[in-house]
Structure 1
Amino acid sequence: MTTPRSRRGFLAVCSGTAAALGLGTPSPASAVPDEFTALRSKWRTLILGEGFDPAAEPFASRLAGLGGTARRYLASMSPTAGALWPDLPYAEPDPGTDPGSYVCSGNMSTSYTRLSTLAQAYGQPGTGLTGDANLRDAVVTGLGHLHDDVYHAGRARYGNWWSWQIGAPQALLDTCVLLHDALPADRLAGYLAAVDQFVPDSAVSDYSGTSTGANRVDLCRVLALRGVVGADAAKVALARDALSPVFPYVSSGDGLYADGSFVQHTWVPYTGSYGSVFLGGLGMLFALLAGSNWEVTDENRTAVFDSVERAWAPFLYNGLVMDGVAGRAVSRGLSADDPAGVQQDDHLRGHPVLAAIVLLGQGAGAARNARWRALVKGWMRRDRYRPPLADPVLSLPNLARLQEVEDDTTVRAVPEPTGHRLFPAMARATHRRPGWAASLSMASERIAYYECGNGENPRGWHTGSGMLYWWGGTFADDQYSDAFWPTVDPCRLPGTTVSRKALADGAGGDWGAARPDVNWVGGATDGRRAAVGQYLKGLRSTLVARKSWFFLDDTVVCLGAGISCTDGTTVETTIENRNLGAAGGATFTVDGGAEPAGYPWSQTLEGTGWAHIGGHGGYVFPGGATVRALREAREGSWSSINTAGSTAVLTRKYLTMYVDHGTDPVDASYSYLLMPGASAARTRARSADRHWLTVSANADGQQGVSVRSLGFTGVNFWSGGTVGSLTASDPCSVMISERGDGTAVIAVSDPTLTRTGLTLTWRRPVTSVVSAPATLASAETGESLTLTFGDLAGTAGVSQLIGVTSR
């Protein structure tokens, strides 16, 4: 290891000549074939952006800001043993100690990221540092210091593997591309040797462990750039070929599923976080290698294009990506290192996904590209809370991609897609209607309650216990964006049923280790409406419950039954917990009477028929219910749910409604209707219409409803039995949609993934079966319809649709 330079010596070197730095040493550039030179140029464009006017907004201010950041980094850079910046020590912890080793290695990769930022300020126009020789020389010296001090061949890694195999080498190689001609040949060779040690070919030799899904795409990016920078055709070919395992649909573990699910860390739904990395990384690599000798031509890559609308679009809404598929990323708000910075949220996580779709579309064919650009423009224009073109943290190339779509007058923004999507492989559902959208998060033996790890999201315990998120088209788009996660009561998440038993931070274990031993989680849908259910077992609790949601045109009908617990604590079902922001001024009306608007306030509402939150929506309680309601101002900090978060105290006001099932309830139940965006008058009218909804069952064995005016029937059979006009031989989920033309669609699923046979009888006159899946073994029509199914275990919980005509 070389002796670290002093601060004074470092500045002297940075102000010296290129000859003093050895920059006159020939680099490998002259020996690189034209194709590698072209690939470096293409990558430079991909990471710096193109087609924008640096003197026009929003780019001028962003470039100036980049220059300001670079100046701060440059002024504070001070290479010493164990650090390049004083605030980012990466010295290896003492042997045998654990404390924060992942932070130390993370600081190492963050140091490389800062050098990459400096290199971008050097290469971008309009930063005030464009082409600045002192800046360039400082980056070259910084690269040398990090190499000599920590990231070099022969060094044993410590802490988090990600820092060594993805974080550091990606930033290092990007910097090598941006400053390629300024790097001495021997130095460049040393950097590539370090990458070879920490990211050897064996890192992608099999599809397992940490080399799957988004991580595999990231590793391939490292290998591809290692090949491009080092003019190594074999490395680029390896990177291309190692992408192939991410394309086919998987049936377990990490990756894309045929139903549109995306899972990372084996058990965690991650469309909105790791999935963003996956999609963006593939877009970058496809674009880099297009037209080269290493173009990605694997025929299975079309699954990625198919998944844009199957996997990602259902979770994008008005520019945000839904938190139910963001894992522990929901705990990343304000950073302790930058408490005056920008709070991360669902909108800021959504914008890179939009940009990734634009980039991926360039190679997806003309029809898809046009359709995706129209979707993206719509999402952008409807994002009023965080307009994407004013996103302060979106990378410049992504900003340029979105600006180009906005400026393209041939692209017409399309409205939000509508419909229902079930994702059995990750226990999620989305429901989209004109003016609002909802998302449901559940847990099963296949999907974790929640994920924590690396000091993040230690109190996400109940996010998989039936959390029902919802957003309005022109309102409440900041519901989970505005400091919701650090201030909400983690035991009163909307839609959930929980025991108030105290849980330790990180209860159940890191990386999605905590999963319930239940398999009835899923439902049936015809693509418009749905019956969805969850057999709930509480995290480290004796709580059990049967929970059902029936997703309709303007309503979600929510039922709970069989709620039992012996924890010695109360059990609650949270109907709603609206984040009303710092002001908290929404009106609250119950059965036509206005409740007090002050804070704090609480009340037990006996025999409640309906309630309404001004500017949000309505709630109806069939037959009346006893509901607890409260207004409260809650305090919290990001550091309480993320060790890297800011300690600044935040206050948000909440209006909460919940059902108190009492201490150690036995066979308790609930029922309510959620009506997003409904006025008080419409909520009152729905409550007064005693014939609109029939709750045909709400018990431990079956839960079902029917709405005659919609021709809707939905039943979740937790066990075989009869509910209304339906009889099922075994557990299943059934949804029927009868149409005015005498036809009907019957959707049937096996949420347990275990049924080798099922018989379903619908006591309605049926003339004929006009469409059926291969799983239907036989059908008997007449005064009633009897459907006999064969093996459903292999359907992965996907709804089986049968079309019939009635007499």
Structure 2
Amino acid sequence: MEITRRRLLSALSAAGLMAVIPSGPASGADTAAGRARLLANTVAVFAGIPESNARPETAAKLAAIDRAARTNLQSMDAAGAGELFAGLVLGTNDANLNTAFRRLYEIALATRAPGGALSDLYENTAVQRRVIDGLVWLHERYYGDQSKGYYGNWFSWEIGFSQYISKTLALLSDQVPAYRPDLVPAYVASMDAYLRNGTDGDVNLASRFHTGANLADITTNRILQGALLGDDARIRKALIDQLTVFATIDPYRLSHGVTDGHYADGSFIQHSSVAYTGSYGKGLLVRVVQTLKILDGTGFAHGDELVPTVHGWVKNGFAPLIFEGWMMEIVKGRAVSRTDGGYADVAAVVEAVVDLSSLASSADAIALKSYVKHIRSTSRAALDPAGFVSPVSIVRYADIIGDATIEPADLNPASRSVAFNAMDRTVHRRPGYAFALARSSDRISKYEYMSGENLMPWFQGDGAYYLYLSGQDQTQAYGVDYFTTVSPYGLAGVTAPVEQRRTVPELYGKPYYDNPGHPLNFTSSSESQNTYVYFPRGTNRYSGGAVLGAYGTAGWVQSDDVPYRDKGAGLLPDDFVVYRNATATKSWFLLDDEIVVLAAGVGDGARRAVTTTVDARISTPNDQVSVAGVLRDGRPWTGTGTGDLQWLRYANATQGTAVGYVFLDTPGVRVALDTVTRSRRIVRTSNPDTAVTRSVFGITVDQAPEAEPARAAYVLVPNADESRLRSYTDGPLKVLANTPRLQALTHTGLGLTAANSFTPGSHEAAGMRIEGPASVLVQRERHGLTTVAVSDPTMDRDTVSVLLRGRSLWEVASDDGVRVTPVPGGTRLEFNARQAYGRSFAVTLRS
């Protein structure tokens, strides 16, 4: 079921709403029973039920709940005058106030969690009243006076505090009315008052703060508040608002200008322009599944109508981005600098999928359960269900794993190429590896920095890529230690000017640029801060690619960012620091055994030195790493330094991995294998000051200052042995063009020709003429079949035209919007790309 946010309140979408939210009158007894069920479901979700908590699988979770509660109670016992918890200073630090609310929630949780280890805390009225008294104390001193609150991060006041407060009140809903009947109304009134980015204390769908995962969090809080107040209208309004997050974003018909959410190609965007499936998208998935469980059987909504939509998110949005239990870096925004890592991200997704399977229809439930088993069987880190939020989810997970009738199965085929063009990301998967590419444009941010997180992000959206190899513990290859020890100017795939940039705190002495007096009003959460500091976009239009079956191509034009452009136009303050980028036009051709990279026009308008990184890989200092290769004159090469290489092989015997590099047309490359030690704090101010030592392998192509624009053509060959690398001397790859106008390649073994044209006019390559900017894949198969796929990476064109020279071909099958016309000397193909937002169109032809 797909609900469009744009038409949510129109007659068309109202019919869809009525399928989810009952419209008929209900008796007072029915709604009261529904509210009671909603609160009981909430307790079950977070504290478990007797049946779940009696299972041995939940013992570790219950023990963790017990430990947290007892630690917090001891801290309350030790509190001095003016303290709720010992040593926790309140009044100016929103993080400390959040900690206070979290600790009260953790104590309340222990009193509602049935289980033997918690016998003296379970339903302990005295302890529950201590929590209630704590809530009263916080409200009276630090929360109830709105003139003193709202310092620090807006998220704390509008979402974070409310989550803990609402859940705590729900857990103690049997005690609060009799003990402090004024507490719920007082807190709800304050939570409404702190919803300053809303309207009259309620959600504002036109607010940039009330979208995507943030909107799901706010509305779930308000659903619980409505149940606590006995306010059915509040519940219903919150549900209607939350339903908008299920909408598929139509970029040509935005509602309130909102671009946050899920797109038809599987992309997910938050913060208007950040590719964010692995962080905010994960949070949205977790929250809506929790809400579906909370609503189950209440009569307020028919959640089963929404389950197919969420299943689609998992299949097309999440599954391509999860490799052997690891969430890929390209969709994590500033979260790449956190220490918890990709396995922890996927554990949260797994819990959501486990619970979604309990709500899905039979066939979908089996597919979701099989996917859970697939992740468990392929992950290189043990998934610990004790980290799940819900004890009930732990039991469901155990039942799935223990069910011998469920076979592990991915939701995607093993070989798949995915163009997430709506968020400028590409994923290419084969048995044995996955390749993930991050681009940027005037639609999508180059990176995300915020709140002292991801301090050196400058090139993460400038063609940075990640080659994940099967069988490896990805914490040893990527994650926070990759960004800690690899130079931010030397990320794999990046072309960067040789310069030293400074982080935002270094530049301005605080985690943001502060100049509220400027006409653009630079404050910590202003739109100008987002545009110019936190997640600036590029200024290029060309970014995208086509998919043909399991093959793909992507093209991209490197650009300056918006801050550099606007500083040059005199729009920014004199003390605002901007950086100029290097230039390049790049293509990535995604095949079976190889990823081919072409780069042209590589240089710098300021005539600075430039470096292009072919790859950067890390390993532990004790790993057995070897590097071997052959020079272009045929002599063997082993070691580091600069050489005119034909091919190179990097192998990590300890991890059982290897990558080959074939240099089709590349100047001399520099190879380095260095030992690097840095603190994780250099990428995130709140990371522990833990020193990390890694061996960093790097292959770069260096250009001297004043050098003319250069080009390069090279191949990444995952899991290659030396014999495989030697075979490229005689094919099967041939570069047909590598200029800023056209980049094209043919693979004779696959019968595949791939091309990206970047400029207006006609472009000739391998018997075809492409008109204007386009991404094109042509595969000539046996039995006279030819298949063509085309996309518009500019997302601006109405029609893309390709002429296939030779004898006329006739249409066998095609997507809507494709027109085939035999003409003298060939066959003209016209693709209706109007408002397709980079989608690929395919046609199969026969001679």
Identity value in percent: 28
Q: Is the 8 A contact 2:329 2:479 kept in 1?
A: no
User: Structure 2 residue aligned with 1:193, among 189, 193, 217?
Assistant: 189
The Cα shift of 1:669 comes to 1.1
What whole-Å deviation, never above 9, does each CA across 1:206-254 have from its counterpart, x for those lacking one? 2431111111111110110101222221111111111222222213411
Q: Is the 8 A contact 1:636 1:649 kept in 2?
A: yes
Q: 1:558 maps to which residue?
A: 597
Q: 1:731 maps to which residue?
A: 773
Per mean C-alpha deviation after superposition, the further-off stretch among 609-618 and 252-261 is 609-618
User: Structure 1 residue aligned with 2:455, among 453, 458, 464?
Assistant: 458
After superposition, the Cα gap between the structure-2 partners of 1:308 and 1:781, relative to the gap in structure 1 and judged at 3 Å, is farther
Q: 2:372 maps to which residue?
A: 376
Q: 2:720 maps to which residue?
A: 678
Q: 2:843 maps to which residue?
A: 802
Q: Is the 8 A contact 2:79 2:87 kept in 1?
A: no
The Cα shift of 1:616 comes to 2.5
1:532 aligns with 2:554: yes
Inter-partner Cα distance in structure 2 for 1:737 and 1:444: 29
Q: 1:245 maps to which residue?
A: 244
Q: 2:612 maps to which residue?
A: 573
Q: Is the 8 A contact 1:604 1:628 kept in 2?
A: yes
SS in 2 for 1:277: helix
After superposition, the Cα gap between the structure-2 partners of 1:51 and 1:377, relative to the gap in structure 1 and judged at 3 Å, is farther
How do 1:231-242 and structure 2 match up within 5 A?
231-242=230-241
User: Structure 1 residue aligned with 2:164, among 171, 187, 202?
Assistant: 171
After superposition, the Cα gap between the structure-2 partners of 1:83 and 1:519, relative to the gap in structure 1 and judged at 3 Å, is farther
Inter-partner Cα distance in structure 1 for 2:462 and 2:788: 28
SS in 1 for 2:445: coil
Q: 1:278 maps to which residue?
A: 284
After superposition, the Cα gap between the structure-2 partners of 1:777 and 1:392, relative to the gap in structure 1 and judged at 3 Å, is closer
User: Structure 2 residue aligned with 1:142, among 134, 138, 144?
Assistant: 134
Inter-partner Cα distance in structure 2 for 1:87 and 1:745: 68
User: Structure 2 residue aligned with 1:404, among 399, 406, 423?
Assistant: 399
How do 1:13-28 and structure 2 match up within 5 A?
none
The Cα shift of 1:552 comes to 0.3
Inter-partner Cα distance in structure 2 for 1:618 and 1:52: 53
The one-letter amino acid of 2:616's match is N
After superposition, the Cα gap between the structure-2 partners of 1:398 and 1:673, relative to the gap in structure 1 and judged at 3 Å, is farther
1:793 aligns with 2:799: no
Inter-partner Cα distance in structure 2 for 1:781 and 1:189: 75
Inter-partner Cα distance in structure 2 for 1:630 and 1:75: 53
Per mean C-alpha deviation after superposition, the further-off stretch among 168-177 and 657-666 is 657-666
The one-letter amino acid of 1:605's match is G
How do 1:320-469 and structure 2 match up within 5 A?
320-333=326-339, 344-384=340-380, 386-389=381-384, 392=387, 396-415=391-410, 417=413, 418-469=415-466
Per mean C-alpha deviation after superposition, the further-off stretch among 548-557 and 314-323 is 314-323
The Cα shift of 1:441 comes to 0.5
Q: Structure 2 regions of 5+ residues with no counterpart?
A: 1-28, 252-258, 508-512, 514-528, 562-578
Inter-partner Cα distance in structure 1 for 2:409 and 2:311: 19
Q: 1:541 maps to which residue?
A: 580
Per mean C-alpha deviation after superposition, the further-off stretch among 738-747 and 546-555 is 738-747
Per mean C-alpha deviation after superposition, the further-off stretch among 344-353 and 282-291 is 282-291
After superposition, the Cα gap between the structure-2 partners of 1:483 and 1:609, relative to the gap in structure 1 and judged at 3 Å, is closer
1:475 aligns with 2:477: no
Q: Is the 8 A contact 2:351 2:388 kept in 1?
A: no
User: Structure 2 residue aligned with 1:609, among 647, 651, 660?
Assistant: 647
Inter-partner Cα distance in structure 1 for 2:125 and 2:606: 67
Inter-partner Cα distance in structure 1 for 2:141 and 2:191: 15
1:714 aligns with 2:750: no
After superposition, the Cα gap between the structure-2 partners of 1:82 and 1:366, relative to the gap in structure 1 and judged at 3 Å, is farther
Q: Is the 8 A contact 1:571 1:664 kept in 2?
A: no
SS in 1 for 2:644: strand
Inter-partner Cα distance in structure 1 for 2:30 and 2:96: 35
Inter-partner Cα distance in structure 2 for 1:538 and 1:312: 30
What whole-Å deviation, never above 9, does each CA across 1:686-733 have from its counterpart, x for those lacking one? x33x22101001111100100011011100001241122221121111
Q: Is the 8 A contact 2:643 2:669 kept in 1?
A: yes
SS in 1 for 2:668: strand
- Matched residues, number: 747
TM-score norm. by structure 1 comes to 0.87
Inter-partner Cα distance in structure 1 for 2:49 and 2:142: 34
Q: 1:115 maps to which residue?
A: 104
The one-letter amino acid of 1:516's match is G
Q: 2:219 maps to which residue?
A: 220
The Cα shift of 1:766 comes to 4.1
Q: Is the 8 A contact 2:649 2:720 kept in 1?
A: no
Q: 2:683 maps to which residue?
A: 641
Inter-partner Cα distance in structure 1 for 2:479 and 2:840: 33
After superposition, the Cα gap between the structure-2 partners of 1:562 and 1:48, relative to the gap in structure 1 and judged at 3 Å, is same
Q: 1:6 maps to which residue?
A: none
Inter-partner Cα distance in structure 1 for 2:763 and 2:30: 76
After superposition, the Cα gap between the structure-2 partners of 1:617 and 1:595, relative to the gap in structure 1 and judged at 3 Å, is same
Inter-partner Cα distance in structure 2 for 1:698 and 1:57: 61
What whole-Å deviation, never above 9, does each CA across 1:267-320 have from its counterpart, x for those lacking one? 101111110111111111122223323114696775433222111111112122
Q: Is the 8 A contact 1:355 1:401 kept in 2?
A: no
Inter-partner Cα distance in structure 2 for 1:664 and 1:110: 55
Inter-partner Cα distance in structure 2 for 1:730 and 1:625: 30
What whole-Å deviation, never above 9, does each CA across 1:377-412 have from its counterpart, x for those lacking one? 10122112x211366576645544433321233321
Q: Is the 8 A contact 1:746 1:802 kept in 2?
A: yes
Inter-partner Cα distance in structure 2 for 1:522 and 1:83: 55
Inter-partner Cα distance in structure 2 for 1:311 and 1:187: 42
Per mean C-alpha deviation after superposition, the further-off stretch among 443-452 and 673-682 is 673-682
Inter-partner Cα distance in structure 1 for 2:445 and 2:327: 20
After superposition, the Cα gap between the structure-2 partners of 1:352 and 1:50, relative to the gap in structure 1 and judged at 3 Å, is farther
The Cα shift of 1:658 comes to 1.2
The one-letter amino acid of 2:788's match is I
Q: 1:312 maps to which residue?
A: 318
Q: Is the 8 A contact 1:570 1:663 kept in 2?
A: yes
User: Structure 2 residue aligned with 1:130, among 100, 115, 121?
Assistant: 121
After superposition, the Cα gap between the structure-2 partners of 1:402 and 1:493, relative to the gap in structure 1 and judged at 3 Å, is farther
Q: Is the 8 A contact 1:271 1:312 kept in 2?
A: yes
After superposition, the Cα gap between the structure-2 partners of 1:408 and 1:332, relative to the gap in structure 1 and judged at 3 Å, is same
Q: Is the 8 A contact 2:777 2:790 kept in 1?
A: yes
SS in 1 for 2:94: helix
Q: Is the 8 A contact 1:767 1:781 kept in 2?
A: no
SS in 2 for 1:489: coil
Inter-partner Cα distance in structure 1 for 2:83 and 2:480: 35
Q: Is the 8 A contact 2:744 2:765 kept in 1?
A: yes
After superposition, the Cα gap between the structure-2 partners of 1:664 and 1:799, relative to the gap in structure 1 and judged at 3 Å, is farther
The Cα shift of 1:445 comes to 0.3
How do 1:16-95 and structure 2 match up within 5 A?
33-49=32-48, 54=53, 58-77=57-76, 84-86=84-86, 88-92=88-92
Inter-partner Cα distance in structure 2 for 1:678 and 1:117: 51
User: Structure 2 residue aligned with 1:741, among 774, 779, 783?
Assistant: 783
What whole-Å deviation, never above 9, does each CA across 1:302-358 have from its counterpart, x for those lacking one? 54332221111111121221111011111122xxxxxxxxxx001101111121122
The Cα shift of 1:134 comes to 5.5
Q: 2:24 maps to which residue?
A: none
Q: Is the 8 A contact 1:577 1:655 kept in 2?
A: yes
The one-letter amino acid of 2:260's match is D
User: What is the alpha-carbon root mean square deviation over aligned residues?
Assistant: 2.7
SS in 1 for 2:137: helix
Q: Is the 8 A contact 1:604 1:629 kept in 2?
A: yes
Per mean C-alpha deviation after superposition, the further-off stretch among 478-487 and 693-702 is 478-487
Q: Is the 8 A contact 1:548 1:716 kept in 2?
A: yes
How do 1:446-525 and structure 2 match up within 5 A?
446-478=443-475, 479-481=477-479, 483-506=481-504, 510=530, 512-525=534-547
Q: Is the 8 A contact 1:355 1:398 kept in 2?
A: yes
